[in-house]
Amino acid sequence: MRTKNIVVLLAGLLSFLLLSGCSKDEPAPTTDAGSGSKVDATAVELTDAHSIAQRAFVFGFPIVMNYKTMYSYAVDKKNPDFKGPFNEVACEARLFTPDDKAVVTPNADTPYCMFWMDVRAEPVVLSAPEMEPQRFYHFQLIDLYTHNFAYIGTLTTGNKAGSFLIAGPSWDGKVPEGITDVLRSESGLVFNVTRTQLFGPDDLENVKKIQAGYRLQLLSEYNQTEVPPAKPMPDLPPWVEGAQFDGRFFDYLDLMMGFLEKPPKGDEALWADLARLGVGTEGTFDFAAQTAETQKALEAGVKDGLAEIEAFIKKNNSDPQLSAKLFGTRAFLEESAKKNFQLDRMDLLRSAAAHMGLYGNSGSEAIYPTYLTDAERQPLDASANSYTITFKKDALPPVKSFWSLTMYDGKTQLFIENPLERYVLNSTMKEQFKYADDGSLVLYLSMESPGPDLESNWLPAPDGPFYSVMRLYGPEKEALVGGSWSPPPLVKASSSQKGGE
């Protein structure tokens, strides 16, 4: 990783060079690595700055949103979402509630372990204990691009005990005995999300015991050898909510690129354009130090980049298999961009995924049929309508593990306060559901209860816009893209279906 004297940390502000008002005949300002980067105004025209900024936003938005999580979880000890320092396992044997605000569209099925790993100086060894074959678990390993570069768990490595070496892109050391597999990240920092299935409230103590068996060690600790020199961590500035949508984005992006050793194949031209703006260079970018004209050009690029992402989401949000096309390894996303969206680059896929729900699973692990509109392609609004989803007999989601349906507020993208403290319906509740005479299962999504007899099938909605996500853990082949099973539509309920009315 290149060294940088950085004052502003991630969450996404791309380091842009100062476009001064000097004439072409005047000498170019030099780059000052101790303050905001300043470059020759002739290096890039304002129209180019706008264009590059737009591409930079679409490319860098997931990287910046990674900083938001990193700062909250591993840096800011006063943050209520703080989990612990780098390279330390952090688990919570509980389910998320509306009070958890760091990650949008959170999971309500599995207690989490979330922690950040720093593998710049040396790899780490992540170990998991053996557990019951019927219990789903996994470690989802995510690089700074937000690629799911590897999984450890039920569907990939099985439920037997194992120890896995997680290394950065340039590590070339000797693999010690006892290592089940070597998993390599494109970035020096790695985020992990561990999901351990909870069968019900009575199972919570079992989950705690499993989580206590998850272990993380530096390779030198695992080998009992000398610890290599540590890689210095740059100053990590506070996350400022809203900065990801204005010119400050570039400060965070510039910082985050310091954790990326080199441009991946195919990104060389983009990185070169970013360098023209002063982003991802040896100096430090400071948006506030730029001229008014440059700031205006960069912020216009951010605005257009966000519009591009939102247009992509709007165009594709009726696709119930969308999530299976947006999350995965770099190779998977490159193929998906071409095959599913006829795009030469996969930046839009990563950015749309980060905007809709950061850290979604790869399709082989879980898919997320998402309801953003009803069957008539109208926005969902529980203040105006009640809705139902009907599964015909023997047509429940086909999964190796389990499925769920979760409710989110359309404005905050978080869980909804409700009298039942219920945010999800899932297959572990199948004995509690009430089924129709023909064997079908009707789920009710509404602000008001459908009535006492149907309340077991009720997923409370907010007084306003909402969306709902179905999660299939270990989806069978027929549930994947091109398969024979599709999630049933979400329809406006007739008066006869609105129990209690």
Hey, what domains does the chain have and what are their CATH numbers?
18-69+238-309 (1.10.3360), 112-223 (2.60.40.1610), 367-492 (2.60.120.1600)
Give pLDDT, residue 21: 26
Query: In the chain, pLDDT over 90 holds for what percent of residues?
Result: 75
Tell me the torsion sign for CA atoms 327, 330, 335, 337.
positive
Torsions phi, psi for 136 (to 5 deg): -85, 135
Give pLDDT, residue 37: 47
Q: Which residues have C-beta within 8 Å of that of residue 138, sequence separation ≥ 6?
A: 151, 152, 153, 154, 155, 156, 194, 195, 365
For residue 497 the two structure tokens come to 């279906």
pLDDT for 467-476, tens place per residue?
Answer: 999 999 999 9
Cβ neighbours around 35 below 10 Å, total: 14
* Mean of the per-residue pLDDT values of the chain: 88
Cα 273-278-281 angle, rounded to 5 deg = 95
Q: pTM for the complete prediction?
A: 0.78
pLDDT at 307 over 90: yes
pLDDT for 162-186, tens place per residue?
Answer: 999 999 999 999 999 999 999 999 9
pLDDT at 327 over 80: yes
pLDDT band at 126 (very low <50, low <70, confident <90, very high): very high
Phi-psi region at 451: left, alpha or beta (left = phi > 0; alpha = psi -120 to 50)? left
pLDDT at 389 over 50: yes
Identify each DSSP E strand in 112-188 by its residue range.
112-118, 124-128, 137-142, 148-153, 162-167, 181-184
Cα dist. 90→73, 201, 208, 414, 466 in Å?
A: 10, 21, 12, 22, 31
| Higher pLDDT among residues 5 and 129, named by residue | 129
| SS3 readout for 96-128 | CCCCCCCCCCCCCCCCEEEEEEECCCCCEEEEE
pLDDT band at 201 (very low <50, low <70, confident <90, very high): confident
Query: In the chain, pLDDT over 70 holds for what percent of residues?
Result: 90
pLDDT band at 411 (very low <50, low <70, confident <90, very high): very high
pLDDT for 92-118, tens place per residue?
Answer: 887 778 988 877 888 788 899 999 999
> What average pLDDT does this structure show over 46-63?
95
Give pLDDT, residue 497: 52
pLDDT band at 295 (very low <50, low <70, confident <90, very high): very high
Give pLDDT, residue 28: 30
pLDDT for 237-291, tens place per residue?
Answer: 999 999 999 999 999 999 999 999 889 999 999 999 999 989 999 888 999 999 9
Helical segments of 167-282, H only: 204-212, 219-223, 249-257, 268-276
Give pLDDT, residue 40: 41
The answer to whether residues 1 and 259 touch, using CB atoms and an 8 Å cutoff, is yes
The answer to whether residues 116 and 431 touch, using CB atoms and an 8 Å cutoff, is no
Residue 304: which of 351, 256, 240, 269 has the closest Cα? 351
Question: Reduced to 3 states, what is the DSSP secondary structure of residue 366?
Answer: strand
